Amino acid sequence: MQVTDQSLTPNLLKSDILRHLTFTLGKDADTASIYDWRMSLSYAMRDRIMEPWFASTRRTWAEDRKRVYYLSMEFLIGRLLEDATVNLGLHEMAAKTLADLGQDFRAIIGNEPDAALGNGGLGRLAACFMESMATLGCPAYGYGIRYEHGLFVQRFEGGQQVEAPEDWLGQTNPWEFTRPEAAYTIPFKGHIEHSGGKDVWVPGESVIASAFDTPVIGWQGKWANTLRLWGAKPTGMFDLARFNRGDYAAAAESETLARTLSRVLYPDDTTYAGKELRLKQEFFLTSAALQDILRRYLARHSDLKALHKHVAIQMNDTHPAIAGPELIRLLHDEHGMEFTEALETARACLGYTNHTLLPEALERWATFTFGNVLPRHMQIVERIDHWHKDEHHSRPHYIGIVKHHEVRMGELAFVMAHKVNGVSALHSDLVKTNLFPELNKLHPGRIINQTNGVTPRRWLKMCNPPLAGLITDTIGDGWEADLDRLKELEPHVKKAGFLKAFDAAKRKNKVALSNWIGTECGVKVNPDALFDVQIKRIHEYKRQLLNILETIARWDAIRQNPGGDWVPRVKIFGGKSAPGYAVAKEIIHLINDVAEVINNDPETGDLLKVVYPANYNVSMAERLVPATDLSEQISTAGKEASGTGNMKFMINGAPTIGTLDGANVEILQEVGAENFFLFGLTAEEAMKRRQDPDHSRHAIEASPVLPDVLQMIAEGRFSPGQTDRYHDLVHRVWHHDYFLVAADFDAYLAAQAATDAAYADRKRWVKMAALNTARSGFFSSDRTIRGYMKDIWSVESAL
């Protein structure tokens, strides 16, 4: 296979860009805008992807390889241009060529919209997986929805979150190819007729799923896969007969359904909305994907019983769990396979990744809604449930897919998958013991672990050139595709010269971030302060509240003792709340209120600043992660399935302050306790603690600091214009506090004091930071994907 294109010279690249400027954009260099330059560069890069893309597809067909199909309602891919230049090995040449043309390369990169077709970690994982599968030469397709509007844009007004629609497709998307020939009818509703001893679904409405392909290029351009996103189109022009009768609204019905289906991403992260449109979106994605998979299979094969030898389908959470019944329907109803055989064939193809134990996140559809939208699937689900019960006579009566007039998607996905995986060691254990204990007993060995990872190309090479450069200078190249090689940094961590260079790289990133914060937030921050960063969706279980309470305690302590030996600190927050999540929105408001007071306090000055840039997304993460000193991973133990933000920080040399939750457990194990600020209850202790109905009051009364902090908030110190603004919030901490903020507060304060002491000792800190990078190799998504390929998909690399 071809490695990085050696034939491209700077002159050729320049003429490629100018050719696209003239012939694709229709612009003269004299009048071209930054958009025109960005598009021209994108097309020039895209041209270089075509050869490896076609070659990969040809190879997969020629060698009749097994393919992986990754079904996900979310792909949080972010910007693609810089990623393409890095993976093609053309980054430096592109930057230099644009400079020669009098253009600002960084500004051009920043002109690309951030494709936010996802909410947070789950969608970003899917994006990292796509990149790793391409890098590893794993023949794969990603299947998702081409949302016209991605995750909303966040603004703050008076410190409160305001949502505005996102419009990434408002401009031409240079990375996608329309595939009008790949289109499938997606039926909904209607009724079932019995004819010839068969159940026949007569749908009441339908839409067309139409494909848009984006190539995903792996490291060094050795392999490229396809991300195929489905857009909805109306089936007919519209119903002309009805239109002529004057029934205008009804005539446009199918058009309206099509318009809404792929219009907008649901902005709920780890909560399930129960809305009919969402169920339709899930079926739309899944049915289109499965029809496409069968078409591709049948183009070369005829024996559908051998499907699992050629096809592995992964369900990213339960969102595409309708894949089980839909694949049975296609095999049994449409292709005439016997029901049990269809079921077993489907199961041999399917894998299910569980992402959460939070009960509010587990999808359950009212049988009324489910049966109305998907009447044939309702029948099939019931038949699967009966089959499973017959197969397992010991199955307890309270286990079942359909229970209490609800279809439980977790149970459905479990029964229909040959492997079920959790996303960190701790999480997978909890999936076995707490989430599916009975199903685990019936199917021992089905639940396995695949700890998450992130792609080191985007999350080190691309986002952190100073550190990436230092690593290459120290251990040579090749670590980008073999992150375990970072271990080779360890001997250098003893050397003063290396530590100095490591520190200088971090400082360079911090200076750049300080400048950006100055423009973005209007707050001047000291680049020598400890940059303490918590960026992730705002959720009670992630405990941004714990962090802001500690911030208040710190502020108060500095004011009590202004001459103390304080370590200057910048608290950086980032993240969006689901629009309907009132408690999370209150926490956002509080953080902004506290920032307003602290940032304007001359007594604390540079010793403490709080910044919260609006609209956290992938691009912002790429900016913040390399400049972070301290990574906040402080979720209530037992609630964060894995986390991937924690891994990005570790790779970029930021020690963690964190609980024993999700992949923090494995980070601690890899980096060693002396390089990790551990605090808080364990998952088991947390469960026990909740059995005391007064746990929060007990914890608050025992704390020397927390009562005062809560009192300051309750009195309106941070909301002078409305002193009762946080009454409810404070009341909840005192009397409810399911997420154990109070119980962990003192331990968190102590761990934060330990970070101050460690940071004050420069050499100790830099060494700790460098060891985090050196020991982060395990958290490459290449390692994760190798695990899936071997343990779940049984697929070989084509490289």
Ligand X SMILES: *Cc1c(COP(=O)(O)O)cnc(C)c1O
**Distance set, CA 283 to CA 279, 327, 335, 349 (Å):** 6, 11, 19, 18
- Is 617 a binding residue for ligand X by CB under 6 A? The answer is yes
Exactly one of 644, 652, 675, 776 binds ligand X (CB under 6 A); that residue is 644
Exactly one of 146, 536, 571, 695 binds ligand X (CB under 6 A); that residue is 536
Exactly one of 117, 409, 621, 770 binds ligand X (CB under 6 A); that residue is 621
Residue 74 or 586 with smaller CB distance to ligand X: 74
Tokens 């102590």 belong to: 750
Please state the closest distance from residue 54 (CB atom) to ligand X, in A.
31
Please state the closest distance from residue 645 (CB atom) to ligand X, in A.
3
**Distance set, CA 538 to CA 534, 535, 589 (Å):** 10, 9, 11
Exactly one of 643, 655, 680, 777 binds ligand X (CB under 6 A); that residue is 643
Q: Is 609 a catalytic residue?
A: no
Q: Is 542 a catalytic residue?
A: yes
Query: What token pair was written down for 386?
Result: 């009966």
Cα angle value 772/778/780 (rounded, 5°): 100
Q: Which of 91, 355, 364, 377 is catalytic?
A: 355
Residues 51-90 within binding reach of ligand X (CB under 6 A): none
Tokens 């979150």 belong to: 161
Q: Which of 91, 418, 536, 623 is catalytic?
A: 536
Helix, coil or strand: residue 680:
coil
Residue 20 or 542 with smaller CB distance to ligand X: 542
Please state the closest distance from residue 429 (CB atom) to ligand X, in A.
19
Query: What token pair was written down for 537?
Result: 């969706």
- Is 645 a binding residue for ligand X by CB under 6 A? The answer is yes
Please state the closest distance from residue 649 (CB atom) to ligand X, in A.
9
The whole-angstrom separation of Cα 127 and Cα 78 is: 9
Residue 120 or 221 with smaller CB distance to ligand X: 120
Query: What token pair was written down for 447?
Result: 């639940």
Exactly one of 211, 462, 618, 749 binds ligand X (CB under 6 A); that residue is 618
DSSP 280-307: HHHHHHHHHHHHHHHHHHHTT---GGGG
The whole-angstrom separation of Cα 691 and Cα 340 is: 45
Residue 281 or 644 with smaller CB distance to ligand X: 644
Angle, in degrees to the nearest 10, between helices 339-349 and 375-391: 90
Q: Which of 48, 67, 506, 648 is catalytic?
A: 648
- Is 121 a binding residue for ligand X by CB under 6 A? The answer is yes
Tell me if 639 sits within 8 A of 745, measured CB to CB: no
Tokens 């439980």 belong to: 408
Please state the closest distance from residue 542 (CB atom) to ligand X, in A.
7
Please state the closest distance from residue 453 (CB atom) to ligand X, in A.
11
Q: Is 27 a catalytic residue?
A: no
Q: Which of 310, 537, 571, 609 is catalytic?
A: 537
Residue closest to 545 by CA, chosen among 726, 366, 689: 726
Query: Given 3-state DSSP classes, what are the helix, strand and coil percentages for the chain, each rounded to the nearest 5?
Result: 55, 15, 30
Spell out a b/e string for 42-77, using b for 16 or more CB atoms within 10 Å of the CB, else e: bbbbbebbeebbebbeebbeeeebbbbbbbbbbbbb
Tell me if 95 sits within 8 A of 81, measured CB to CB: no
The whole-angstrom separation of Cα 727 and Cα 47 is: 59
Tell me if 291 sits within 8 A of 55, measured CB to CB: no
Binding segment for ligand X (CB under 6 A), chosen from 368-376, 422-430, 617-625, 691-699, is 617-625
- Is 626 a binding residue for ligand X by CB under 6 A? The answer is no
DSSP 199-251: EEEE-SEEEEEEEEEEEEE-GGGS-EEEEEEEEEEESSS--HHHHHTT-HHHH
- Is 663 a binding residue for ligand X by CB under 6 A? The answer is no
- Is 613 a binding residue for ligand X by CB under 6 A? The answer is no
Query: How many helices and strands, by DSSP H and E, does the chain display?
Result: 32, 24
Q: Which of 455, 628, 644, 656 is catalytic?
A: 644
Binding segment for ligand X (CB under 6 A), chosen from 51-59, 118-126, 388-396, 765-773, is 118-126
Please state the closest distance from residue 617 (CB atom) to ligand X, in A.
5
Residues 199-228 within binding reach of ligand X (CB under 6 A): none
Residue 395 or 585 with smaller CB distance to ligand X: 585
Please state the closest distance from residue 785 (CB atom) to ligand X, in A.
17
Please state the closest distance from residue 672 (CB atom) to ligand X, in A.
22
- Is 124 a binding residue for ligand X by CB under 6 A? The answer is yes
Residue 544 or 696 with smaller CB distance to ligand X: 544
Q: Is 537 a catalytic residue?
A: yes
Binding segment for ligand X (CB under 6 A), chosen from 390-398, 589-597, 637-645, 652-660, is 637-645
Tell me if 765 sits within 8 A of 529, measured CB to CB: no
Indicate the pairing of strand 402-403 with strand 406-408.
antiparallel
x-marked contacts with ligand X along 479-518 as a string, rule CB under 6 A: ----------------------------------------
Tell me if 787 sits within 8 A of 709, measured CB to CB: no
Please state the closest distance from residue 342 (CB atom) to ligand X, in A.
37
What letter would DSSP give residue 149?
B
Binding segment for ligand X (CB under 6 A), chosen from 234-242, 356-364, 642-650, 715-723, is 642-650
- Is 658 a binding residue for ligand X by CB under 6 A? The answer is no
Residue closest to 645 by CA, chosen among 115, 80, 82, 123: 123
| Enclosing H/E stretch for 677 | strand 677-678
Binding segment for ligand X (CB under 6 A), chosen from 358-366, 544-552, 615-623, 772-780, is 615-623
Q: Is 536 a catalytic residue?
A: yes
Query: Which residues on adjacent β-strands are paired with residue 264?
Result: 149
Binding segment for ligand X (CB under 6 A), chosen from 90-98, 422-430, 644-652, 737-745, is 644-652
Tokens 């089959």 belong to: 387
Rg of the chain, C-alpha, whole Å = 27
Residue 348 or 678 with smaller CB distance to ligand X: 678
- Is 150 a binding residue for ligand X by CB under 6 A? The answer is no
Task: Return the number of other C-beta atoms located less than 10 Å from residue 214's C-beta.
Answer: 24
Q: Which of 124, 506, 542, 589 is catalytic?
A: 542
Please state the closest distance from residue 750 (CB atom) to ligand X, in A.
23
Q: Is 500 a catalytic residue?
A: no
Residue nearest to ligand X (CB): 645
Exactly one of 120, 137, 144, 218 binds ligand X (CB under 6 A); that residue is 120
Please state the closest distance from residue 127 (CB atom) to ligand X, in A.
9
Interface with ligand X by CB under 6 A: which residues? 120-121, 124, 536, 617-618, 621, 643-645, 648
Q: Which residues are catalytic?
A: 355, 536-537, 542, 644, 648
